[in-house]
């Protein structure tokens, strides 16, 4: 319950900024309740005008009917305005929360993104916020009017007969107790339901994203088995949540029926003894019904609010995650880097008790081409992550242009590097928009020149609208090779002072790869370049080749020097090109 209250407090802070619409909604709710509760009094007076056969005061009844019509119209107008306010509050709050979530995702450290499935994160931002919005809207719409109706009916009933009102008030706590007891049970079930829904979304995202691999390895049955297991858990939690929430209304209705029966019995005896008129008894019975009705609605609202708060707790967990270490207050904006890079006694590990990189030292001069090779898991890509400051070193330092990268703004550091990774990334939009990401003000001539240099111009020109062809998320129907060529075009256009090529030509045919390598050779002239490669044929011209194993540099030199050493690089090279020589 503490977590529940904490979530509610966080929610109130976000609602507070919409105080104008909240006040207006409360005023409209008060008007709606007041006019709704005044109508039974008018109806009671109309009944009292019907004294008996041939003894009806039609003149008074007509006046009363006109007043009833006016107040019903006021009720409809105020209710409409209240709903507009409530909708605006709800959707502006959910918009703000989604904005907060997306902004937080942009500053979360990569270890958080790597440690959570994309589907689970998407579920929090989309499904949980939708569920939260539904509960919040119901809360505003029914909770305000419900509470005011209860208070208003009590006041009106007291003006008619205090004794009968006392009978109503005595039974009321029973209804509140029932609603409160069930509400406590529902929150935990709705929370489990929300978490399991996120798990299910993550699995669906994985299976759809990797459908080709699923089919290729005959994983369909196992995928269905996993989905069924999660689905069964979701069914179990959902049924329990629905069960507890569904018994709330019948339980409170039973208590409310007791209230209505009590009013009818006590009121009837009072009317017989002349304590109240028949019209007043009619008004009283109407009030008793209206008094108990909000308890049913509020119990339903409480159930929805439990679900909303459970979903809100998950989205707030994301929003309140620790962001990556912010730039230092005195961080420098380095507009121009000279290309020198120094790694001094760098140590890093993803998991504290599992060491990866230890005592790593590297000194790169301006314009050097540094190739990094080694077996899978030796730390090649980790070095790139550290250079870009996607992860911070545990100890030691990395200097770019003589400045510790922790003393530079991340933006200026990353603007100094251009990256082409084995895993391509393209956003939904036109080909042009994807190419100019690193240089938004590029001219048409520059874009065409970059495309020609990257050998993507040919297939772009053949597309329906050339550079203005719209592609879907992650390249849509483009082949992997075409997507990689577009990523290479992007870096050819930006021409950053330093380059990082992580298996940049892995999805390109050999003939095109040779052309790309020639284009890269021109691009790398005078630029410091880091090249991660498994195919050693692509890095023979590198100035320095670093051979890594278990997080350490075990060999260093150019291609000829390393072959002459007859060491680990020699074995790697000939395992790819000359099996006979290795034997």
CB 263 within 8 A of CB 164: yes
pLDDT tens, position by position, 169-221: 777 667 667 766 776 667 677 778 878 887 888 888 778 777 767 776 677 88
Percent of the chain with pLDDT over 70: 90
Within a 13 Å sphere around the CA of 502, how many CA atoms are in the beta-carbon half?
Answer: 17
Q: Which residue has the higher pLDDT, 33 or 140?
A: 33
- Angstrom distance (rounded) from CA 500 to CA 491: 10
Nearest-angstrom CA–CA distance, 28 and 77: 9
pLDDT digits (tens, 9 = 90+) for 371-397: 888 887 777 888 888 888 888 888 999
Q: What is the CA radius of gyration of the chain?
A: 36
Sign of the alpha-carbon torsion through 452, 455, 458, 463: negative
Contacts within 8 Å (CB) and 24+ apart, 223-230: 227/200, 227/203, 230/196, 230/199, 230/200, 230/203
Residue 83 pLDDT:
85
d(CA 293, CA 290): 5
Average pLDDT, the chain: 80
Q: Return the structure tokens found at 349.
A: 């590990």
d(CA 366, CA 526) in angstroms, rounded, equals 7
DSSP string, 415-435: HTEEEE-SS----SEEHHHHH
Which residue has better confidence, 155 or 71?
71
pLDDT tens sequence across 455-497: 888 889 988 888 998 887 777 778 877 888 888 888 888 888 8
Residues 358, 552: contact at Cβ < 8 Å? yes
Which single residue is written with the structure tokens 């489990």?
192
Answer with the residue of higher pLDDT: 336 or 463: 463
Whether residue 265 is predicted with pLDDT greater than 50 in this model: the reply is yes
d(CA 432, CA 553): 40
More confident residue, 339 or 353: 339
Q: Supply the pLDDT for residue 576.
A: 65
Task: Give the relative orientation of helices 162-209 and 144-160 as an angle to the nearest 10 degrees.
Answer: 170
The SS3 call for residue 499 is: strand
| pLDDT winner (highest mean) among 245-259, 290-304, 517-531 | 517-531
**pLDDT exceeds cutoff 60 at 1:** no
pTM over 0.85? The answer is no
Residue 74 is predicted with a pLDDT of 92
Task: For the chain, give percent helix, strand, coil, nearest 5.
Answer: 70, 10, 20
Q: Which of 321-330, 416-425, 505-514 has the lowest mean pLDDT?
A: 505-514
For residues 563-578, average pLDDT: 79
Q: Which helix (H) or strand (E) holds 288?
A: helix 278-319
Greatest mean pLDDT range, 125-129, 228-232, 353-357, 420-424: 228-232
pLDDT of 286-315, one tens digit each?
Answer: 777 777 677 666 666 766 777 777 788 888
Please give the residue that has the higher pLDDT: either 7 or 31.
31
Q: Which tops the pLDDT comparison, 331 or 216?
A: 331
Alpha carbons 215 and 250: distance in angstroms, whole number = 49
b/e for 178-206, b at 16 or more Cβ within 10 A? bbeebbebbbbbbbbbbbbbbbbbbbebb
Q: Give residue 77's pLDDT.
A: 93
Which of 374, 380, 377, 383 has its CA nearest to residue 568? 374
DSSP 325: P
Of 492, 460, 493, 495, nearest to 475 (Cα)?
Answer: 460
Taking each helix axis from N to C end, the angle separating 19-48 and 58-107, rounded to the nearest 10 degrees, works out to 160
**How many residues are present in the chain?**
583
Structure confidence at residue 62 (pLDDT):
86
Residue partners of 476: CB distance under 8 A and separation at least 6: 428
Rounded distance between C-alpha atoms, residue 489 and residue 454, angstroms: 5
Whole-number Å distance between alpha carbons of 68 and 317 = 51
Q: Which residues of 410-428 are buried (b: 16+ CB within 10 A; e: fewer)?
A: bebbbbbbbbbbbebebee
Judging by beta carbons within 10 Å of its beta carbon (0-12, 13-18, 19+), is residue 277 exposed, middle or buried?
middle
Q: Residue 583: pLDDT band by 50, 70, 90 thresholds?
A: very low
Strand-pairing partners, residue 400, are 341, 403
Q: What is the pLDDT of residues 33-56, one digit of tens each?
A: 888 888 877 877 777 777 656 667
For residue range 82-116, list pLDDT tens digits in order. 888 888 888 888 888 888 888 888 888 777 877 77
pLDDT at 582 over 60: no
């Amino acid at each position: 319950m503490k977590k529940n209250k904490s979530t509610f407090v966080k929610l109130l802070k976000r609602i507070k900024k919409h105080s104008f619409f909240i006040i207006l909604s409360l005023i409209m709710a008060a008007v709606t309740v007041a006019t709704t509760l005044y109508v039974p009094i008018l109806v009671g007076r109309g009944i009292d005008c019907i004294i008996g056969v041939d003894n009806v005061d039609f003149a008074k009844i007509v006046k009363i009917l006109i007043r009833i019509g006016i107040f019903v119209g006021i009720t409809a107008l105020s209710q409409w305005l209240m709903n507009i306010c409530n909708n605006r509050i709800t959707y502006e709050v959910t918009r703000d929360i989604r904005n907060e979530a997306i902004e937080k995702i942009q500053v979360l450290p990569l270890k958080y993104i790597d440690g959570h499935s994309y589907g689970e994160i998407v579920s929090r931002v989309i499904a949980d916020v939708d569920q939260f919005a539904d509960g919040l809207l119901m809360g505003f719409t029914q909770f305000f009017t419900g509470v005011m109706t209860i208070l208003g009916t009590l006041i009106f009933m007291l003006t008619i007969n205090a004794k009968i009102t006392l009978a109503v008030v005595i039974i009321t706590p029973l209804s509140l107790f029932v609603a409160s007891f069930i509400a406590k049970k529902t929150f935990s079930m709705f929370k489990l339901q929300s978490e399991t829904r996120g798990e299910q979304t993550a699995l669906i995202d994985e299976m759809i994203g990797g459908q080709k691999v699923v089919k290729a390895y005959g994983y369909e049955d196992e995928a269905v088995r996993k989905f069924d297991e999660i689905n069964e858990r979701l069914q179990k939690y959902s049924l329990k949540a629905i069960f507890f929430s569904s018994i709330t209304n019948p339980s409170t209705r039973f208590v409310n029926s007791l209230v209505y029966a009590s009013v009818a019995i006590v009121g009837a005896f009072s009317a017989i003894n002349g304590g109240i008129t028949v019209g007043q008894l009619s008004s009283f019975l109407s009030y008793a019904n209206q008094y108990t009705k909000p308890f049913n609605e509020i119990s339903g609202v409480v159930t929805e609010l439990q679900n909303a708060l459970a979903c809100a707790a998950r989205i707030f967990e994301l929003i309140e995650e620790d962001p990556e270490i912010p730039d230092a207050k005195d961080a420098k904006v380095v507009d121009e880097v000279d290309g020198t890079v120094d790694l001094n006694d760098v140590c890093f590990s993803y998991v504290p008790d599992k060491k990866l990189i230890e005592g790593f030292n590297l000194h790169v001069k301006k314009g050097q081409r540094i190739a990094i090779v080694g077996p899978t898991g030796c730390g090649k890509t980790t070095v790139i992550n550290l250079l870009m400051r996607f992860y911070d070193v545990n100890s030691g330092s990395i200097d770019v242009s003589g400045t510790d990268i922790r003393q530079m703004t991340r933006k200026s550091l990353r603007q100094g590097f251009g990256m082409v990774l084995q895993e391509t990334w393209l956003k939904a939009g036109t080909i042009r928009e994807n190419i100019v990401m690193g240089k938004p003000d590029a001219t048409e001539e520059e874009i065409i020149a970059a495309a020609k240099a990257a050998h993507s111009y040919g297939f772009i020109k053949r597309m329906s609208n050339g550079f203005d062809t719209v592609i879907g998320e992650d390249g849509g129907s483009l082949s992997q090779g075409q997507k990689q060529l577009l990523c290479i075009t992007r870096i050819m256009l930006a021409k950053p002072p330093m380059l990082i090529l992580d298996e940049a030509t892995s999805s390109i045919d050999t003939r095109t790869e040779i052309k790309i390598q020639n284009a890269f050779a021109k691009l790398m002239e005078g630029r410091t370049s880091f090249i991660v490669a498994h195919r050693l044929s692509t890095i023979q011209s590198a100035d320095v080749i670093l051979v890594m194993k278990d997080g350490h540099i075990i060999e260093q030199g150019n291609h000829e020097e390393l072959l002459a050493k007859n060491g680990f690089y020699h074995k790697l090279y000939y395992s790819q090109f000359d099996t006979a020589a290795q034997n």
